[in-house]
Copies of this chain bind each other. A is one copy, B any other.
Amino acid sequence: LREFLNKVMAIESHSSDTWFDLLREGCRRSTAPLRAVISVLSASHKALSPVEIQTAARRDCPSLGLATVYRLLSRMERLGLIHRIHQTNHCNLFLRATVGHEHLLICTSCRKAEYIHESDLTELTSTLSRRSGFVIQGHLLQFQGLCSACQNTGSKKRRLP
């Protein structure tokens, strides 16, 4: 696995080492399904559904079953390697997590997703905590919109609430 991860890291220009470090710590065995799914998720800038992940990963691992995809996704989610993307309707899309960037900007048309860096929420969180009496454990902030590419290609596949 270690070897495989180093290879993928070398290819992925946008890769943070931390993500691969987490993988190395969290996954003990290097199996074909795992490697195939890692390849797909580490390279994708779009949120993908389990079926899409299966389809894409079958290029490297043709026998890959959907149940295995679900099992791998839940493992990777538990490790904090991927995030579930919540849209008005569909909440079954997954995207590689980026360390230090918790917030998202998602294209409602092509599902391209970007992690964004956001600082102001720290203060807001403590204000909220003080005012409401809640112990705040986490939050979910996601922006939806049309990426520049989709603004031009018209509303082909646009999917609005």
Contacts and interface: CB of A to CB of B under 8 A. Distances in A.
A142 B136 CA distance: 11
Nearest to A148: B133
Interface in A127-161: 128-129, 132-148, 151, 160-161
22 contacts: A86-B140, A105-B132, A107-B134, A108-B137, A114-B132, A116-B128, A125-B143, A129-B145, A132-B147, A133-B147, A133-B148, A134-B145, A134-B146, A135-B145, A137-B144, A137-B160, A138-B143, A138-B161, A139-B142, A139-B143, A140-B142, A140-B143
Given A108-B137, A140-B142, 17 more contacts: A84-B88, A86-B140, A91-B91, A105-B134, A116-B128, A120-B120, A129-B145, A133-B147, A133-B148, A134-B146, A134-B147, A135-B146, A136-B144, A137-B160, A138-B145, A138-B161, A141-B142
Given A86-B91, A105-B132, A124-B118, A144 B148 contact: no
Interface in A83-135: 84, 86, 88, 91, 105, 107-108, 114, 116, 118, 120, 124-125, 128-129, 132-135
| Shortest Cβ-Cβ A-B pairs, 5 listed | A133-B148, A136-B145, A134-B145, A86-B86, A91-B91
